[in-house]
Structure formats: C-alpha cells, structure tokens
Structure 1
Amino acid sequence: MTARIRQFLRKRAEDGPCLVVDLDVVRENYLAFAKALPDTKVFYAVKANPAPEVLALLAALGSSFDAASVTEIEMALAAGATADRISFGNTIKKERDVARAYALGVRLYAVDCIAEVEKIARAAPGARVFCRILSDCVGAEWPLSRKCGCEPAMAPDVLEHAHRLGLTACGVSFHVGSQQRNPQAWDRALASVAAVFRECGERGINLAMVNLGGGFPTRYLKNVPTVKTYGSAIFRALRRHFGNRIPETIIEPGRGMIGNAGVIEAEVVLVSKKNENDDVRWVYLDIGKFGGLAETMDESIRYPIRTPRDGDDLAPCVIAGPTCDSADVMYEREPYALPISLEIGDKLLIEGTGAYTATYASVAFNGFPPLKTYHI
C-alpha cells in the first residue's frame, strides 16, 4: 500500500467499504510495459477498471484501449482516446453494436467464427479483423474457458472468409489466461499463431499483426516475475517463431496495469464459530463476492489481507461477506490465517484490488450500495 493511500484512508470519515486507487502506480505500470516491449502497442483492457480517472491518465500517456462493448468505446473516447486507438476486442457483439462502433470511427474488431465475420462485413465494411484462437492457459491462476476463441486450425478459414468479404484480415490474437505467472506461456501460443500465419500466407493472405492478449499478473500472496521478464520472454518467443519478420504486436494488460494500484478498506462485522469445538472461526466482512470480490470464486484469487493486529498469533478463518446469500463465502475450502485477536469493528486492508473489483460490485443486492471508489 502506498503512502498516498494510507494518508487518504487515515482522513476518510465515511462509513462502508471502499476502493482507493493510486494513479501514480498506474502511471508507473504503463511506463514499465512501454519500456519492456518498446515495439508493442499497449491496449489497456478497459473492463479491468473503467474509471474515468484511469482512462484519462492512460489516454494522456498514449495508451490505446481494448473495449468489450460500445459503452467502453464511448468511455475511452470521452477520456481523450481517438477511435484509431480503440479495438472492439469482444468476439460476441450485436450487429447494431458493430454498426455503432463503426460510426464512432472504430476500425479494428475481434472475431472467432464465420458468423461474427459476416456481421462485421455487413455493419463495418472494410474494417480490420483479427481472429482469436484458443490457448491452453496452463500456469494461469484464473484460467479462461473455451467461451472466446476458436481452435487454431479453424482460424485460417475464418480469416479467409473475412478476406473474401472485403474485410482486412490483419492478424491473430490469443489469451494465455488471467494472472499468468509463467512468462513462457506466450511461447506455446505463438507457435500456434505462426502456423496460422503460414497457412494464411499459402492462401494469399498476408497477416501483419499479433495480439498477445493480457494475462500479465499482479502480486497477490505469491511473487510474480517482473514486466521486464515477460517482455524479454515474449520477444524471444517472437524471434523464435517469426525470425527477422516479426509482425506488428499489441498487448492488452488489465490486471497487470492496475491491480497493484488499489486497496480495499473493509470492516469486520462479526467473528463467530459454528460449533464451540471448532478450530476454524468465521469472519464476516462488510464486503464480499457481491460487493466487489467476485474473483474469490472457487478461491482462484487469494488477496493479501492486512489487519491492525498483524504480528499476533494466527488461526484459520473462513471469510464471508455480509449478504444473506449462502454463496457469499470467499475462503472456506482453504481457510485464511488471520490474527486470533481480531475483533468486530477492526478495519482490514485488502491489497491488489485495483482490477476487477468495483466493476463486479452489484448495484444493490440485499440493499448494499455499490463499492465506493476513489482515485487519487
């Protein structure tokens, strides 16, 4: 936690949980990505944290933007980005949304099947498209499903269809899984990408761009490699699979851009046991899965939690949220060690929460308001 966040929370008088994001950390992260991959364009994944303050900062720094919806496109434009710096990266789009994006000036679109290509050909004639392929996501703490992307062998057909319909088939994208702690994961994916490039070349289609996706991690309880390490590994993989003819590349960091910039302050509402003989206590907070901590689902993301009683003896705890929904339990399968002395009213700091928290918070489930957010 930065000194700026600590000072802000010390002066905050309002009640309820809140997220505080230090924009200086976001700036440092962007510059680190730009330095680690100097020939690669940065397309910030807006969905990670679409706060206007974050988007305006990144737009001013020169970032481009990966948008998942028309609303995110409009937010990026409002923040100062130009349409040529926006990619409509969702492979699942209504045709009228494609038309709206095209009217706003967006010319770069993701596809993963022929039906999506046909939508874009009708609603965004002459646009550039890239085909997303599936990746195994081995090594990711938040693996992705098969929802977005096609098998690599199918990609040449998708891109050839785009070419025949008058679109510019420009490249291939993939995602190695969120919170990917293995820098070599990009090598496996790029081997598949290179094969797609070769097949398309044999069909007379010269692809020019590789979207390296996101997956860049932030630090939670485990150390992660530096951005420089990822940059070096990716460059070696590009050289290995493309030789001296490295294509244009873009990355889509979200979690890695803003995760470590944010801290959530929460309060202990209740500490209890289910049985007098239980060794495990239940600690209920005023924030849970429905208040912004959705990524604790399946206990995939384990956030660092600081307490005012750190240093005291620890004991295992189940951590749950304040709602009456039985799914609002964050860590139970693997209880979380917290101080035995923890009491009702104690304020906890949940670190690494700058990404995928406020945007996941429900509007008013059980009457609880959305997570308050501050960007300083």
Structure 2
Amino acid sequence: MSAQPVDLASPLLPVQPVTSRPVAAPQVLSQTPVVRVDTAIVLRQLAALRRALPGVQLHYAVKANPARPVLRALARAGCRWDVASRGEIEAVLRAGGAAADMSYGNTVKRAADIAYAHEVGVRRFTFDSPGELAKLTEHAPGSLAMVRITTSGQGAGWALGGKFGCPPDVAADLLVQAIRSGHRVGVAFHVGSQQSDPLAWTEPVAAAARLREVARAHGADLAVVDLGGGLPAAMREPTASLAVYGAGIRQAVARFLGPDVPELMAEPGRAMVAEAGVLETEVLLVSERAGLRWVYLDAGVFTGLVETVGEGIRYRVEAVRDGAPLAGRTQPAVLAGPTCDSLDVLYVEHPYQLPTSLQPGDRLLFHSTGAYTATYSTVGFNGFAPLREVFT
C-alpha cells in the first residue's frame, strides 16, 4: 500500500451525480411507488471502490440491498460479503457467493446461527462483549474473531449510536481473551453511514494500531483490520469523491499500521448500491398548513424512506411531469408520506425547493435510493403495499 502523502486540505471533489434513465411510459409510472435499480451502476461503483482502496478486500454489506439481482451481479464480479444473519448467508449462497468469502459482522448472534455459519464455511466473526466471544469459542472454535471498537460517529449522516462496539480498553481485554481461547484476532470498527469526513477513519485506525501492540505482547498479531463502511453516495449536499476518501484511509493506514500492514477489509454498502437506485413517487396532494407548503407523496417513512427520520439522509429530488423535468419558479416545501402516522414526515427542517406548478399526479424522483429502501419498507402498514423494486 502506498505511503505517499496526500494533500487532503485541497477542496473536496464532488461526487459525480447519477444520470437517471428516462422515465418510463405513463402506464408504468402509475404503479408508484417503485425503486428502479440498475445493476450496471452497482458494478461501476464496485470498480470505483476497488480503485479508491487498492489492496483492501471489499465485503459488500448485504443489508444495504439483498436483492438477488444485486447479489448475483456482485458474485460474478468476485466481491466478498459482510453478512448479518443466517438469512443473509443463505441469500448469498443462493446467488453464487462462497461462505469462505463471508464475514459475519453482527455482534449479536444466535448461538445456533454461529454454529450454522461455521458449519457451512464462514470463518470470520465480529464480537464486542465477553458473552459473544464465549459463543464464538464454543460454536466457531479457531475462527477469526474481530473485536469491534466504538467510534464517535461524528460527521455521519446516519450515526450508529451506542448499540455496537466497545471502548478500546475493553477491546484490549477481549482481544487477550480471544487469543487465549485459540482464535486468530482482528479489529473492526464503523465510522457511521454516509460519512462526510474523509479523515474519520484516522482515529479508529490509530486505535487499531494500539490494539495491535496488545496482541503482539501476548504472542499474536492482528490478522485483519476491518475498516467498516461509511463511504458516501451522492446526496443533496456535495461530498468528496471516493478517491479522496481512499486517500485519507490510505494515509491513516500508512501512518499507524505501516510498513508491515495486516490484511485490510472494508464493508461498503450504501457506496456500492445507493446510486444505482431511483425511487419514483406520485404527488397526492399539495396544500398549505400554518404558512408552509406541504407536498404529500405515495412513498414515505414506511414505504422505503425511513432514513429520512431525523433528516440525516437527504436525497437529491427531481420533479417530473409526463416524463419530463418540471421547470419554472420554485418555493420551499415540506415533504410527507401517505400514512395516517404523524411520524410519516420526511423533511421539515430541510425543506426542498420544488416548482410552484407542482400538482397531484406529478412525480418526484428520489436519487441514490438503491440502498436501505425496499428492505426498510413495511410489509403493509396502514394498508399501503411494500415498496416495489425493478431491476435492469
């Protein structure tokens, strides 16, 4: 891995926007909401990630979009896998992926699922507590056990909170226990989803280097450092290019883990599939409430747009009528979904500038929605059907 210095103080390069495909004919448009996913763009993103992170094994975070067409395309391209459940393991195997290329990244697993994963050939597991390590030792003996450390999540659009990971001092004790229990060991972390800071990996890489010294003091070494996910997709606010993120990560690795760098892996999810998707939704109502213009849609929090909760993920939105962009004067609008739940409001603090001519029957296109949309859709809350997916 190159240790050449990179000027990260230079202006951040914009992520290239997705060029959406022409909107389909009106008779197809009526079947909203729908998210259209282009697997060619998924493969384009895989190639871009490989260029940005040379030498890093990419394990696709299956939870981002576990649809069979996506998994099959990535399997054919030789991608590896980050899985979170037995169901995801089985989905990858059905799509042609190999168990030996999987990393079981969920830190809370059924003992029976650990045993199943180990039986079919999974050999990498993540943990962050003594109880989880005990399950690994019993049901996946001799496996690679990666202790997950906490990160601040600062700069992330969708922070991961305190549910996962442990402080480095606790991780050090767990690392020693894992070594004594006969495991090969590693360190894992996640800087938060849709991370806006290309330098967010610096501190956790430094913490991994300190934990490496603990492992070496006990006669072992880190077999792998898992850089996690967090690489962004193109959203409303510009972000740096994947190349800039890769440069920041490589610089941290060279500084703290070089020159004898352990194996590196990463778990891109959103960066792999988000830009491949465009979610199309119909305008149901335009009205004024307390001096604000409200635009109600047939897609909302419960039909694929749950990541708008807290307004942390702000998609790029385009208005169209009869398949053509809707131009003209604009004004701010609050966006809301169709259900009778007051939680089903997408953007209030960050209203969108939409054409004043917008009317029921027009469509809004939400770009970069190939990740965490259909899988987050409810099975039918309030009688609304789950979000439909179409693949090309």
Q: Does the CA-based 8 Å contact 1:160-1:205 persist in structure 2?
A: no
CA distance in 2, matches of 1:302, 1:7: 22
Query: Aligned equivalents of 2:27 and 2:123: distance in 1?
Result: 46
Q: Is residue 122 of structure 2 the alignment partner of residue 85 of structure 1?
A: no
The answer to whether structure 1 residue 104 and structure 2 residue 116 are counterparts is: no
- TM (norm. structure 1) is 0.95
1:283 shift after superposition: 0.7
- Could you tell me how far 1:223 is from its partner in structure 2? 1.7
Task: Check whether the contact 2:18–2:367 (CA below 8 A) recurs between aligned residues.
Answer: no
Does 1:252 find its partner at 2:262? Answer: no
Query: Take 2:247 and 2:159, find their aligned partners in 1: how far apart are those partners?
Result: 23
Once the two structures are superposed, the pairs formed by residues 180-195 of structure 1 within 5 Å of their partners are: 180-195=195-210
Q: Which amino acid aligns with 2:328?
A: D
The question of 1:267 aligning with 2:279 is answered no
Query: Distance between the aligned counterparts of 2:27 and 2:265, measured in 1?
Result: 41
1:55 maps to what in 2?
71
**Maintained 8 Å contact 1:5/1:21:** no
Contact 1:266/1:348, CA 8 A, preserved across alignment: yes
Provide the residue aligned with 1:358 in structure 2: 374
Q: CA deviation at 1:4?
A: 7.0
Q: In the alignment, which residue of structure 2 is the partner of 1:335?
A: 351
C-alpha change, 1:13 and 1:346, in structure 2 (3 Å) is closer
Q: Which amino acid aligns with 2:54?
A: P
* Runs (5+) with no aligned partner, structure 1: none
- 1:116-131 aligned at under 5 Å gives the runs 116-131=132-147
Letter in 2 for 1:163: I
| Correspondence list, 1:194-205, <5 A | 194-205=209-220
**One-letter amino acid matched to 1:299:** E
Q: Where do residues 1-376 of structure 1 align in structure 2 (5 Å cutoff)?
A: 5-6=21-22, 8=24, 12=28, 15-169=31-185, 171-275=186-290, 278=291, 280-308=292-320, 310-376=326-392
Hey, what's the Cα distance between the residues in 2 that align with 1:23 and 1:180?
24
| 18-27 or 230-239, larger mean C-alpha shift | 230-239
1:333 is displaced (CA, Å) by 2.6
Return the alpha-carbon distance in structure 1 between the equivalents of residues 154 and 327 of structure 2: 36
Q: Secondary structure at the match of 2:220?
A: coil
Q: 1:16 to 1:250 in 2, by over 3 A?
A: same
Q: Is the 8 A contact 1:5 1:22 kept in 2?
A: no
**Aligned-partner Cα distance in 2 for 1:10–1:352:** 22
**Do the aligned residues in 2 keep the contact of 1:4 with 1:22 (CA within 8 Å)?**
no
- State the 1:3 CA deviation: 6.5
**CA-to-partner distance for each residue in 1:283-313, whole Å, 9 max, x for gaps?**
1000000000000001111111111264321
Aligned letter for 2:293? R
| Amino acid corresponding to residue 300 of structure 2 in structure 1 | G
AA partner of residue 353 (structure 1)? T
Shifted more, 4-13 versus 128-137: the winner is 4-13
Aligned equivalents of 2:119 and 2:257: distance in 1? 35
C-alpha distance in 2, partners of 1:2/1:122? Answer: 47
AA aligned to 1:33 is L
Over aligned residue pairs, what C-alpha RMSD do you find?
1.6
- State the one-letter code of the partner of 2:271: G
| Aligned partners of 1:2 and 1:22 also within 8 Å | no
AA in 1 matched with 2:344: D
Structure 2 residues without counterparts, runs of 5 or longer: 1-16
Deviation of 1:314 after TM superposition, in Å, equals: 1.5
Offset at residue 342 of structure 1 (A): 0.6
Query: TM-score, normalising length from structure 2?
Result: 0.92
Identity %: 44
Change in CA separation of 1:17 and 1:212 when aligned onto 2, cut-off 3 Å: same
